[in-house]
Amino acid sequence: MSKIRTAFFCQQCGYESAKWNGKCPSCGQWNTFVEERVQKDIPGKQHDWKNNDTGNVRHQKIINLAEVVTNEEKRLLTPDNELNRVLGGGIVAGSLVLVGGEPGIGKSTLFLQNALQLKQIKTLYISGEESEQQIKMRADRIKSTNDQFYLLTETSTQTIFSEIKKLQPQLVIVDSIQTLHTPLIESAPGSVSQIRETTAELQRFAKESNTPVFLIGHITKDGSIAGPKVLEHMVDTVLQFEGDQHYAYRILRTIKNRFGSTAELGIYEMTGTGLRQVTNPSEILISQRDDLLSGVAISATMEGLRPLLVEVQALVTQSVYGTPQRTATGFDLRRLQLLLAVLEKRGGFHFGVKDVFLNIAGGIRVEDPAIDLAVLCALLSSYEDNAIANKICFAGEVGLSGEIRAVNRIEQRIAEAEKLGFHKIFISRYNKKGIDLTKFNIEVVPVGRVEEVYQQLF
């Protein structure tokens, strides 16, 4: 008979303790320990996916590092170029990918849509939240069919691996990891021990059978993926699907990736028939306007290897309350306060008695330091109530002494601005070294100080 014991688990980080503690020694949080029943070592139940008749299971042995043959990872290219980009060039065989996002943002739709488009891949979609009829209704709305697509509405990993052994799928999608439970752990689905153990079982399956597995996960109210933090350490890739439900656009962002860059970004538009890839996001992030308006500046930014042109909107008004307001949407508020201090100190502009509101158009969040120059110019434009001429964009980081610092990948930024029909781009004078400006048809204006930018624009 199997030995049953109880243990205390931290609901924040997954730390296991033999006794209850008021404060978690791992993450430092208070009152997070919950007692759960733990059952270990059920013979014959841990490797139900293994089939000794096939050669898919990898057998482990000790090997010298010099004997390891390095080959490029085998990647499965999907019809979705945005998903390929954030994964680093496609789905890696044997990888474990965790996808998190707000409820109703479109996680299930995105991966159901991609699974239905992989016509030559045998895909198993495991759902613990929806019935077959609900998934069929969504597939009918997407208007896509696939004879190699299979459904399983089950939450027990014992049953799931039994069905996997029969089907031998080439791709597995689990929606969601918080609904699964394993007979190895006697606690409720969604608890720390259940999430950790079910993820560990799926990880062993992915690595030993070389089958890619996607895990869709819930998120907490503060935006982090629900469950212990160790869940993100166990998987190979963590993707965040984000966006405002009041906007039509969704952003798939890479947080962790063992097989590629962590700065990539994919953009989709939510439609009645599923998610549509946005191949040229610069056009949707810049509002189409005929009249010149003050407080608007265009910045050439980079998200991973992709250049984007985004619109920065600023509003500077006289403060009617005792303390001036500072509000930023899509931009770091502390960075905004820093730029206001630079303008106050180096430029002599009295923003200390003004309310300042800043917005990045399109509902995205930008962390590229090259947006500093556009934010500064939008603030000056609104302060002077003088519009910046059309077809001018900016790319530069602003230092504390008021200097315009160089940014990376400046040639790609210039090329993107030229492709979208801009006539002039302001860059740092320190970016001129090593680039050939004669191959561009756009006018490149190098500047070194905040004062120079103000004199040339206003």
Annotated binding residues for ATP, written as ranges, equal: 101-108
Measured CA to CA, the distance from residue 308 to residue 197 in angstroms comes to: 41
Q: How far is CA 6 from CA 10, 19, 256, 356, in A?
A: 13, 9, 33, 55
Q: At 234, phi and psi to the nearest 5?
A: -75, -30
Residue 104: Cβ-neighbour burial (10 angstroms; 0-12, 13-18, 19+): exposed
Six-digit token string for 352: 């200390």
Q: Which residues contact 264 (CB under 8 A, 6 or more apart)?
A: 85, 86, 88, 253, 254, 257, 303, 304, 305, 306
Residue 356 CB neighbours (<10 A): 22
String of DSSP letters for 258-314: TTS-SS-EEEEEEETTEEEE-S-HHHHHS---SS--TTEEEEEEEETTEEEEEEEEE
User: Cis before residue 176, ω within 30 degrees of 0?
Assistant: yes
Spatial strand order of the sheet with 424-428 comes to 326-329, 354-360, 306-318, 296-303, 392-395, 424-428, 443-447
- List residues bridging with 318 in a β-sheet: 354
353 half-sphere exposure, CB direction, 13 A CA radius: 4
Residue type, 437: L
DSSP 421: T
Six-digit token string for 376: 């500064």
Residues 331 and 366: beta-carbon distance below 8 Å: yes
Pairing between strand 75-76 and 91-92? Answer: antiparallel
Residue 51: Cβ-neighbour burial (10 angstroms; 0-12, 13-18, 19+): middle
Beta strands in 71-180, from DSSP E residues, in sequence order: 75-76, 91-92, 96-101, 123-127, 149-152, 171-175
Measured CA to CA, the distance from residue 106 to residue 109 in angstroms comes to: 5
Measured CA to CA, the distance from residue 226 to residue 359 in angstroms comes to: 29
Six-digit token string for 62: 């000790």
